Each structure stands twice: as structure tokens, then as C-alpha cells.
Structure 1
Amino acid sequence: MRAPQPITVNVFVVSPDTRSERRFELHTSVQQLKTRLELFTGIPVPNQRILLLNNEQDIEPVRVLDDDSRPLGYYSIRDWQVLKIIDTNPSTSFTGQLTDTSQVEKFELTEEEYAKRNDTVLAYKQRNKIGRFAEKDEEPQKPVPEVNIPVGARCEVETTEEGFHKRGTVRFVGSTKFGTGDGIWVGIEYDEPIGKNDGSVNGERYFDCKPKFGVFVRPDRVRVGDFPVEEINFSDEEM
């Protein structure tokens, strides 16, 4: 004995704004279905295009319910298939008016206007010092190394030339506005004109001496001691 044919079908109905499970009688015509669908999808009957899918992830429909006079049974709809309702004219649908933003006048602000407002996320972050507005801990200053080179002491500057002694008197010890990085410079007045300046660099004076008698070197190149004046052959090494 053959099983009786079902007279109803359970399906999922999805539209741009709704999703529900529905039961329909298979003798219901597509036109009657559209009238019922309008009640819970908000899509007017003339705007409805109904696709039959096996599941919601399908891209291609199994059938298109495009004949309003045909009953649902004509399309061989099975339980738990999907009726996907396409709104062909969203601008005239109630729900479409809520989701179609093409008709909505946009409210726009320039960056300057936005920055002046007090009711924005930017203003909130500024008031509460959040993100890039958070107070930053001051970076600890690098300690200045202690240099035990007294001003006025006799000294000798390290050189790579064998037998060549660059001797002079310490005239300055401290930080300067020239050079790369932090640290201490030692200003020396040479005994002979083998230096690079007169105690000034880039218009900033640190001590006084004759032109070509002054030089600035790092402390690790300076030895302090009893270094008498001696005659030397001229050579140009320092900057």
C-alpha cells in the first residue's frame, strides 16, 4: 500500500530582515503564498521573488517560484528546504526603508568639526586620558658619567702616531651643543697649533684660545698628568 502524499510542508523562510520556520499546505498557490509572506516579511507582493534552496548556504536555487498560479506542490518542495524571499524594490518596502541606506541623507563632519565636539569618542578619550592621550611617563634621563678631569690640568691626548704627543691644558669639561649623542667633551688648548678651533664650535664658545690651538675630544682619549711642553712635528688628526 502506497504511503499517502503529504499535504503540508515545513520550510525555513528567509528575507533581508526576517528568518522563521513556517508550515504551508502544498495546494497553496504561489500568489496566495506571497500574500501570506507579506505579513511577516514586510515585502509587498509585487516585489517578491521566491527562490527554493536546499539550505541557506546555497548560491544557486533549486527552483524559482515564478508562476503565481501554480501550487507549491508543483515545485516538489520538501520539508526543511528554504524559501528565500528577494525584495526586488527595497525603496518601497517598509523593512527595505530601514535597511536601504542609499536614500538616507548622510551626516558628515570634517576632522576639525569632529575635534571641536564634546560628545564624541575622541573627546571622551581626551577627558579620560585613554589611548594616545594617556599620560606618558617621562623617559629617565641618561646619567652623565662622572669625569675626573680638572680644568687647568696639563694633559696628553691619545694619538695613533708613534712618538707623537699632543699636549696641552684642559680648558673645558662638560656637555656641548655639537656632536651626536649625549656625553661629556673635554676642551683642550694645545701647546702648538695642531687643533681645530679657537674654543668655539658652530658659533658657541666654550673657552678662549688662539685659532687652531683648540680641540674637543672625549674623556677616554685624555690623560691628565705632568706633561711638560715639548716641540712636535705638526699633524692634523682631530676634527
Structure 2
Amino acid sequence: MRTSNPVTITLWVISPDTRSERRFDLHITIGQLKDKLERVTGIPVSNQALSLYNAEEDTQPAATLEDDARPLGYYGARDWQFLKITDTNPSITLTGQLSDVSQVEKFELSEEAYAQRNDTVLAYKQRQKLGRFAEKADEEQQETEEDVNIQVGSRCQIESTEPGFHKRGTVRFVGKPKFSHGVWVGVEYDEPIGKNDGSVQGERYFECRQGYGVFVRPNKVETGDFPVEEIDFDEEM
């Protein structure tokens, strides 16, 4: 016994303001289909442009339903394709007027006028001293004004938040780098626990192997007679 082709199929119907799952007879004409879709989407028949897509993210349609006299089955429609309805004249439809921002008069404010208002994000940041309006910490200001008593070549230990973990190395740079304000200390670690090779943003401040160099604030550095400690990186494996 020969099995007949299905008479109805299920499609995803998608418009600018709706999304639903609908069943349609393959013998329905595109004109009749548009009449049904007007009740679903609110888009007038005369404004509807219909396209079938195999997947929602596709940019090219599998078929464009241009002939109102043709049946849906003529375009090879099958279950679970996406029927997308485009509103060709949104300015005259209710849903289009609600979503068409081109019809909305824009409120524009000059930078000067915006800066004078006291109810803006900019004004809030200024009052709270946030972001670029934040005041420098006293410690940081002092470091930019006074010499830091750390000598290049000194053995040092860097402050660590991990108990028993000593980050030790040798001071290779003390000064004001281009990548930030204030005084920074460049350290070559004894082990590969650093972040660079003594250069930052294409500017070289000292030489060391990749992964051994780091830049820290002077208050994180303690100089003294710190011997080299070997770190067992496999200890926790």
C-alpha cells in the first residue's frame, strides 16, 4: 500500500513582534496564507513579504513565497521550517509604529549641556570620586614625589597572599614606566612565576626570561638577604 504525502505541515512563524508554532495545509495558496498570518502577526496582507528558512540563523531563504496564487506546497515547504514575515511598510501598522524607532523624535544633548546637569552618571561619578575622578591614594602620591629606597641588584621578596609561599628574586628596575603613573619596581623572579620578560607594551625596562619578570609597587617589595628558594611545582599533582 503506497503512503500518501502529508497534507499539513508544522512551521515556526516569526514576525518582528510574534513567534509561534502553526500548522498549515500544503494546498493553501500564499494569498490565503497571508490572510491567516494577518490575524497572527497584525501585519496587513499588502505589507507581508514571506520567506522560508531551513534554520532560524540562516541568512539566505530556502524559498521566497512571491506568487499569491501558488499553493504553499509548490515552494517545497516541509515540517519545522521557519516562515518569516517581513513588514514592508511598518509606519502604517500598529505593531510597526510601536517598534519602528525611525518615527521617534530623538532627544539630543550637547556635551557642554550634559556636563552642566547634576542628575547624570557623570555628575554621580564626580560626586563619588569614581573612575577618572578618583583621588590618588596618599601612598601612591608619596611614591610619585619621593625617591624610593630600593636599589637595582638587591635581593628581594614580594608580598604574597599565600601562606608559606615566598616570591623571591632580584630587583632589575626602579623608576617611572610608560605604562602607568608613579614609581614601579621591576623584579626578575628566581622561578617562572612572573608575567613578562622585563618589557610591557613593547617597551623594555630590563632583560630576563619570559615568565620571570614582574612589575610591582614599591610597598610590595621587601629587600634583604633572601636566598634562592626552589619551588616544587609538582608538589600538589
Q: TM-score range by the shorter chain?
A: 0.5 to 0.7
Normalising by structure 2, report the TM-score: 0.55
For 2:95 and 2:134, the matched residues in 1 are separated by: 44
Change (3 A) 1:10 1:144: closer
SS in 2 for 1:13: strand
Residue deviations 1:126-147, cap 9 Å, x none? 22222112222241031599xx
Q: CA deviation at 1:13?
A: 1.5
Aligned twin of 2:123: 123
Normalising by structure 1, report the TM-score: 0.55
Aligned twin of 2:30: 30
Aligned twin of 2:94: 94
Please, which runs of 5 or more residues in structure 1 have no aligned partner? 146-239
Residue deviations 1:40-91, cap 9 Å, x none? 3232111101011212232332222122222222222100111111211121
The residue type equivalent to 2:25 in the other structure is E
The residue type equivalent to 1:40 in the other structure is V
The residue type equivalent to 1:70 in the other structure is R
Structure number with larger C-alpha Rg: 1
The residue type equivalent to 2:71 in the other structure is P
Structure 2 residue 99 is the aligned partner of structure 1 residue 106: no
Residue-pair matches, total: 145
Percent of pairs identical after alignment? 63
Residue deviations 1:125-178, cap 9 Å, x none? 222222112222241031599xxxxxxxxxxxxxxxxxxxxxxxxxxxxxxxxx
Moved more, 73-82 or 26-35: 26-35
Pairwise mapping of residues 1-239 of structure 1 onto structure 2 (< 5 A)?
1-138=1-138, 139-140=141-142, 141-142=145-146
Please, which runs of 5 or more residues in structure 2 have no aligned partner? 150-237
Moved more, 42-51 or 70-79: 70-79
For 1:144 and 1:133, the matched residues in 2 are separated by: 26
For 1:118 and 1:95, the matched residues in 2 are separated by: 37
Alignment RMSD, CA only? 2.2
For 1:122 and 1:94, the matched residues in 2 are separated by: 37
